[in-house]
């Protein structure tokens, strides 16, 4: 399998307060793009998008990593993307984005509709000026998301 996709998920809820663990709830799950967790026993690695962008801009400061569980949106107990025992991530707040890099070509084709949730994105967000083929001097405001709905 070859890496062809980076998945971006929005954190819509967080549990954990100021404690030493956190549970994050995102808008995609094992019935969507993360079906490889069930079918292939994959162990996705989340990265806070803001941290990746800081790293790319040369501002790579280390933050405390805490045990983190990541869950999909379906309210099904099976819809867990990352286990607390296997995942460490810096503190993430609601409305932040997580990215999961290096997903394969069959990521979306094996997903399906479950409990009213579909894997078909209504928006695609481009976060790379290189991928867009735009001038690297453009500001973040000039490089906007494209709505494909």
- Residues 82 and 67: their CA atoms lie apart, in Å, by 10
Tens of pLDDT along 124-149?
555 554 544 445 554 544 444 433 33
**Domains of the chain, start order:** 5-118 (2.40.37.10)
User: How far apart, in whole angstroms, are the C-alpha atoms of residue 145 and residue 121?
Assistant: 13
Annotated catalytic residues are 75
Name the token pair of 120.
């078909």
Q: Which two tokens stand for residue 38?
A: 């069930």
CB-based contact 46:25 (threshold 8 Å): no
Structure pTM?
0.76
């Amino acid at each position: 399998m070859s890496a062809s996709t980076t998945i971006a998920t929005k954190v819509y809820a967080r549990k954990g307060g100021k404690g030493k663990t956190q549970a994050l709830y995102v808008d995609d799950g094992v019935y969507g793009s993360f079906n490889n967790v069930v079918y292939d026993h994959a162990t996705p690695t989340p990265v806070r998008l803001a941290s990746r962008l800081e790293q790319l801009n040369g501002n790579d400061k280390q933050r405390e990593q805490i045990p983190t569980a990541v869950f999909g949106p379906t309210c099904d107990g099976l819809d867990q993307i990352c286990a607390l025992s296997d995942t460490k991530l810096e503190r993430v707040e609601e409305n932040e984005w997580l990215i999961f890099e290096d997903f394969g070509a069959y990521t979306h084709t094996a997903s399906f509709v479950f409990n009213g949730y579909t894997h078909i994105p209504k928006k695609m967000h481009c976060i790379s000026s290189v991928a867009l083929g735009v001038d690297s001097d453009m500001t973040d405001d000039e490089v906007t998301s494209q709505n494909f709905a």
